[in-house]
Structure 1
Amino acid sequence: MNAMTNLQTAATRELSLTRVIDAPPALVYRAWTHHLAEWFAPKPLSITDTEIDFRAGGRFKFTMKDPTNGAEYPCDGVFLEVVPNERIVSTDAFTPGWQPTEKAFMVAITTFEDLGNGKTRYTARARHWSDEDLQAHEQMGFHEGWGQVADQLIEVVARLQAKG
């Protein structure tokens, strides 16, 4: 397999969604980083046990809880890149100290593109290790779930904007 084929294969393992948010990137980024527990899980799930260190090599660890059946979904990994107001890259492939995990699933890339006039193009991408992981994520409801949390993020941004 040549390098171009590898790139084409990787591109087919990406799921993404985009929203244009009526707020500047700094506000969207602040909502993303400082209010994550308020929007990151699709309702009725909630986020608990949060440990987040927004820096390259910093840890993210939290649990999504489903009140309807008591199920818990732990999330653990590290940030690979954090560029305030522009980009956040994270993965579940490692835990702190760059310890590999056995259940690597994806790399998440979130960008906050300044469109001018106080608007931000928010894009969330999930790049998967395998076709099976991508298909599993689609079947779990990627588009519906990530779309719902993007809409919840927009609600948090609007609330922060209203507060001034």
Structure 2
Amino acid sequence: MKSTTTVDGNDLIITRHIAASPERIWRALTDADELKEWFVPKPWRITKAVIEARPGGRFVTAMVGPNGENEECGASEGCVLVAEPNRRIAWTDAMSGGYRPNEKPFMTAIITLEPSGGGTTYTARALHKDAADRDRHSEMGFAEGWGTCLEQLAERVEAD
């Protein structure tokens, strides 16, 4: 099953039903070693991941391309705002761990996991401060990139 991408004001939203429990998906979201396996479209890879699934915790990813490239999304340190196990996690790049302000905020991500149909409805919402940032994120390939990652996540957790 493919994902569905929508726009709501300054937010980009992607949703997909995954045939796995919210608990299994939560583990794939919050375990750094698991996150490295699906959180970036292959052949890109994550070289560093830190997920402290608690308010004020760090959410860090660093990624590299197949030829060593490291676009503007190469390294990111954010701050976890909400962590409700098996239900919802939210983080922002406006801050780093411990609620320390970052220099160039771009987005806040909210991922919700809702039990449905013997599996889970996974919804990721990327919030932006204005339409310009939303459009920039869309042009960067939000639907394709996040969609590919969501497919990789589904393959990983549905195989269990």
TM-score (norm 1): 0.86
- Would you say 1:80 and 2:84 are equivalent positions? no
User: Is the partner of 2:81 in helix, strand or coil?
Assistant: strand
Considering fraction of residues, name the structure with more helix. Answer: 1
Residue pair 1:91, 1:107 contacting (<8 A) in 2 also: yes
Deviation at 1:97, TM superposition (A): 2.5
Q: Deviations for 1:91-149, whole angstroms, at most 9, x for unmatched residues?
A: 0000122111121101100000011x531000011000121110110000000000000
Query: Do the aligned partners of 2:58 and 2:98 also contact (CA within 8 Å) in 1?
Result: no
1:67 maps to amino acid: P
Q: Show structure 1 runs of 4+ deviating over 4 A.
A: none
Q: Give the distance between the partners of 2:44 and 2:109, measured in 1 at CA.
A: 20
The aligned residue for residue 39 of structure 1 is 38
Unaligned runs of 5+ in 1: 1-10
Residue 152 in 1 paired to residue 149 in 2?
Answer: no
Residue aligning to 2:90:
89
Tell me the amino acid that sits aligned with residue 35 of structure 2.
L
Deviations 1:47-106 (A, max 9, x none): 012222111110011211012352250011110000000000000000122111121101
Q: 5+ residue gaps in structure 2?
A: 1-7
Q: Secondary structure at the match of 1:129?
A: coil
The aligned length equals: 149
Q: Is the CA contact 2:58–2:97 (under 8 Å) kept in the aligned structure 1?
A: yes
TM-align CA RMSD: 1.3
The equivalent residue for 1:56 is: 55
Contact 1:128 1:134 in 2 (8 A): yes
Percent of aligned pairs with the same residue?
45
Residue 104 of structure 1: aligned partner: 105
Secondary structure at 1:36 match in 2: helix
**Structure 1 letter corresponding to 2:134:** L
TM-score w.r.t. structure 2 length? 0.88
